[in-house]
Amino acid sequence: MSSLLQTPIDYLKGVGTNRADLLRTELDIHTFQDLLNFFPFRYIDKTKYYKINELQRNSADVQVIGKITHIKTVEQKRGKRLVADFIDDTGKMELVWFRGHKWIKENLKLNTAYVIYGKVNHYNGTFSMPHPEMEPYATHKEEVKIAMQPVYSSTEKLTNKGITQRFMGKMMQQVFIQTGATYEETLAAPLREELKLISKTQALRNIHFPKNSELLAKAQFRLKFEELFYIQLQMLSKNLQRKQRLKGFPFDQVGEVFNDFYENHLPFELTNAQKRVIKEIRNDLGSSAQMNRLLQGDVGSGKTIVALMCVLLAIDNNFQAVLMAPTEILAQQHYQGIKDLVAHLDIKVNLLTGSVKKSARTLIHEALEDGTLNLLIGTHAVLEDKVQFKNLGLAIIDEQHRFGVAQRSKLWRKNTIPPHILVMTATPIPRTLAMSVYGDLDISVIDELPPGRKAIKTVHRFDSHRLRVFRFIRDEIEKGRQVYVVYPLIQESEVLDYKDLMDGYESIVRDFPLPEYQVSIVHGQMKPADKDYEMQRFVEGKTHIMVATTVIEVGVNVPNASVMIIESAERFGLSQLHQLRGRVGRGAEQSFCILMTGHKLSDDSKTRLETMTRTNDGFEIAEVDLKLRGPGDMMGTQQSGVLNLKIADIVKDNNILKLARSYAYAILKEDPSLSDDSNAIYRKIYKLLGKDKTIWKYIS
């Protein structure tokens, strides 16, 4: 059976070479199996017919029986459109075609009963249906009607070339005929019985040709569970294998450096969340397996102090550590902060970035190789081949989504045994997404802010309130505070964005003139040295207002900055708005975030602004963001490889995901290598999965 499923789509009756080429390029359908696993995204009821006087202005798909009484060609600005009058016994509507006029005119018969199907528009008191699906009523009457008719994703190119929904349905029927319509089981019987799952064959039949809504629901549940189960099996198995295969250095002692810092130099009491996370990390470091942990914490939750304490554990066990940040400013900030914290300890810390002079680099390289340098903080510069450690035991990566996989793996090769890895991010990742994308990492979360931090007050203001906002800025500057003003930068329209930024800068300079006010500007088109100079002036408090694009999004710490103004806030994603807001609120004073927009806002923009003004909780914001944008967009294409889901939706099917994960975990806990006979099915598919990202190539 499985070899039959690998038959190229060209050999499906009625397809042929040209259509097969289109199916390959447009829908990535190469084989019979790909077609079987091309699932409908919704279903419509084609047993219901509407009268023209029952049509509503809701642009829903409807089916109407009637006849064409007149066809005419109407000239328009660009080209022509073909318009037909379509009537039934209750009224009249129009059918409209913008292309294919010749074929339509030749094939349509006047005063003959047709069944039309499509979306309706309403304009000037008349309903119209563009490019309707049509068939003579006589033919339609003879076909078997099913209440739940599948609708498949399509493209304009496919529709134009005759691969319509109707043709897709015929192809599905044909693939069932040519493959014999019985399919190998992919989940073991005990699991199917326990969860009352229908068989694979029943699931595939009822996903494409549902007998009723109950069977459709069962088919969807079965296939969603299966997809998520195999993703989780893969993720969890990788994690287990890594722990067994990759031996790490056991940091078996908590020594005097750690204890001295903890007892005598810790500048504040740790939160319970920080204590919990340090304990989780210590357990990892104390075992003989290599640590691979993701540390999530909202902006300002104190991830750096946790990272430093891990470094101290490494030093106590005679290892070196490295901390890598995505930008020079952020690396410099980590360096300054950590240097101040360990000033009273006998520890050597150094900074390596692109701008470090050659003579200083040489000294750093020597100190690393002879082991006298305990901690190296830096940017991509630490990845260079020249940078060699005597004994690297811990690598910490900040904001890891800024680094590619190849760059991260270079860190691993700095030692014969890979160092322990701690990945930090201030971008809260919803639990659902973390389970699916980072399922092979252990996850720690710092979910409370240090005491004494005041929640940032966030408000939404329209452009018409600008003078009041400027007055507020003046008051804050008089109190000795500093202000960020951020403009969006959307790659496609850099010219427009640059103009926005420069216009904004000019109006601020007009309202906040020299010598009373100092204004800095930072944007992507500046030379790095100029950018750093301006940033440094702001950090040192020499300028009152920083006008910038989103280059300041990650990590810059200016405790004295208490106001964040985000211009055209509707053009930012939620997580970006939250990251930007996190640039203020770092000192003891009350901080503010002002979201500026025009009056025209989409529903999504309103949701984003409402969420931002309602809550400061990064995880809640991330959940809303995930619902608005979907997983692929949130993680970026690089991260979402495994999320190329065919039927499950990790947001809507969150409960199925948790269930699938718990079953995958239970199976692997009992039988980590899947060598038991009862797990033969899983073993077989797991081996095949290693060869390809597309799970459905193998679970059919």
Give pLDDT tens digits for 437-448: 666 678 888 888
Are residue 554 and residue 466 in the same domain, yes or no?
A: yes
Among 426-435, 486-495, 610-619, which is the least confidently predicted range? 486-495
Per-residue pLDDT, averaged over 422-442, amounts to 73
Give pLDDT tens digits for 87-109: 999 999 999 998 888 888 888 89
Are residue 292 and residue 363 in the same domain, yes or no?
A: yes
Is residue 551 very low, low, confident or very high in pLDDT (cuts 50, 70, 90)? low
Q: What is the model's pLDDT at position 497? A: 58
Per-residue pLDDT, averaged over 379-399, amounts to 90
Q: What is the model's pLDDT at position 649? A: 80
pLDDT at 300 over 80: no
Last residue of a domain, one of 402, 423, 446: 446
Is residue 432 very low, low, confident or very high in pLDDT (cuts 50, 70, 90)? low
As a whole-number percent, the residues of the chain with pLDDT over 90 amount to: 48
Is residue 471 very low, low, confident or very high in pLDDT (cuts 50, 70, 90)? very high
Q: What is the model's pLDDT at position 156? A: 81
Is residue 307 very low, low, confident or very high in pLDDT (cuts 50, 70, 90)? very high
**Measured between alpha carbons, how far is 513 from 612 in angstroms, rounded to an integer?**
32
Per-residue pLDDT, averaged over 180-203, amounts to 95
Q: What is the model's pLDDT at position 42? A: 86
Are residue 211 and residue 275 in the same domain, yes or no?
A: no
Report the range out of 380-394, 466-480, 636-650 with the highest average pLDDT. 466-480
pLDDT at 164 over 70: yes
Report the range out of 56-65, 127-136, 392-401, 450-459 with the highest average pLDDT. 127-136
Q: Which residues, listed in sequence order, are joined to residue 352 by a DSSP beta bridge?
A: 378
Amino acid at 5: L
Q: Which residues, listed in sequence order, are joined to residue 392 by a DSSP beta bridge?
A: 320
Length of the chain, in residues: 700
Are residue 228 and residue 364 in the same domain, yes or no?
A: no
Is residue 317 very low, low, confident or very high in pLDDT (cuts 50, 70, 90)? very high
Last residue of a domain, one of 144, 176, 210: 144
- Residue 461 within any structural domain of the chain: yes
Give pLDDT tens digits for 504-521: 889 999 999 989 999 998
**Measured between alpha carbons, how far is 442 from 269 in angstroms, rounded to an integer?**
26
pLDDT at 28 over 60: yes
pLDDT at 478 over 60: yes
- Residue 210 within any structural domain of the chain: yes
Last residue of a domain, one of 413, 446, 479: 446
Give pLDDT tens digits for 240-270: 877 777 677 888 888 899 999 999 998 888 9
Q: Is 162 exposed, middle or buried (0-12, 13-18, 19+ CB in 10 A)?
A: exposed
pLDDT at 59 over 80: no
Are residue 431 and residue 485 in the same domain, yes or no?
A: no
**Cβ pair 176, 13 in contact under 8 A:** no
| Token representation of residue 511 | 């309202």
Report the range out of 20-24, 147-151, 557-561, 689-693 with the highest average pLDDT. 20-24
Per-residue pLDDT, averaged over 523-543, amounts to 85
Q: What is the CATH number of the domain that holds 118?
A: 2.40.50.140
Quote the pTM value.
0.63
| Token representation of residue 671 | 């039988």
- SS3 annotation, 158-214: HHHCCCCHHHHHHHHHHHHHHHCCCCCCCCCHHHHHHHCCCCHHHHHHHHHCCCCHH
Q: What is the model's pLDDT at position 700? A: 44
**Measured between alpha carbons, how far is 549 from 540 in angstroms, rounded to an integer?**
20
pLDDT at 634 over 50: no
Q: What is the CATH number of the domain that holds 558?
A: 3.40.50.300
Mean of pLDDT over the chain: 86
Per-residue pLDDT, averaged over 605-624, amounts to 89
Is residue 492 very low, low, confident or very high in pLDDT (cuts 50, 70, 90)? very low
Q: What is the model's pLDDT at position 624? A: 85
Cα-based distances in Å from 514 to 233, 500, 510, 519: 63, 22, 9, 9
pLDDT at 643 over 60: no
Are residue 361 and residue 277 in the same domain, yes or no?
A: yes
Q: What is the model's pLDDT at position 597? A: 93
Q: What is the model's pLDDT at position 437? A: 64
- Residue 18 within any structural domain of the chain: no
Q: What is the model's pLDDT at position 662? A: 92
- Residue 329 within any structural domain of the chain: yes
- Residue 630 within any structural domain of the chain: no
pLDDT at 85 over 60: yes
Are residue 487 and residue 426 in the same domain, yes or no?
A: no
Are residue 361 and residue 463 in the same domain, yes or no?
A: no
Cα-based distances in Å from 458 to 485, 522, 615: 14, 24, 9
Cα-based distances in Å from 365 to 70, 164, 311, 360, 370: 85, 65, 19, 9, 9
Are residue 353 and residue 273 in the same domain, yes or no?
A: yes
Residue corresponding to tokens 């240090």: 450
Are residue 669 and residue 607 in the same domain, yes or no?
A: no
pLDDT at 62 over 50: yes
For residue 93, the enclosing domain spans 48-144
Beta-strand pair 42-44/442-446: unpaired
Are residue 237 and residue 260 in the same domain, yes or no?
A: no
Per-residue pLDDT, averaged over 377-404, amounts to 84
Is residue 140 very low, low, confident or very high in pLDDT (cuts 50, 70, 90)? confident
Among 214-223, 288-297, 311-320, which is the least confidently predicted range? 288-297
Among 367-371, 452-456, 470-474, 610-614, which is the least confidently predicted range? 452-456
**Measured between alpha carbons, how far is 612 from 47 in angstroms, rounded to an integer?**
45
Report the range out of 17-26, 451-460, 552-561 with the highest average pLDDT. 17-26
The tally of domains found in the chain comes to 4
Are residue 220 and residue 261 in the same domain, yes or no?
A: no
pLDDT at 599 over 70: yes
- Residue 8 within any structural domain of the chain: no
- Residue 170 within any structural domain of the chain: no
- Residue 12 within any structural domain of the chain: no
Stronger pLDDT, 438 or 609, i.e. the higher one: 609
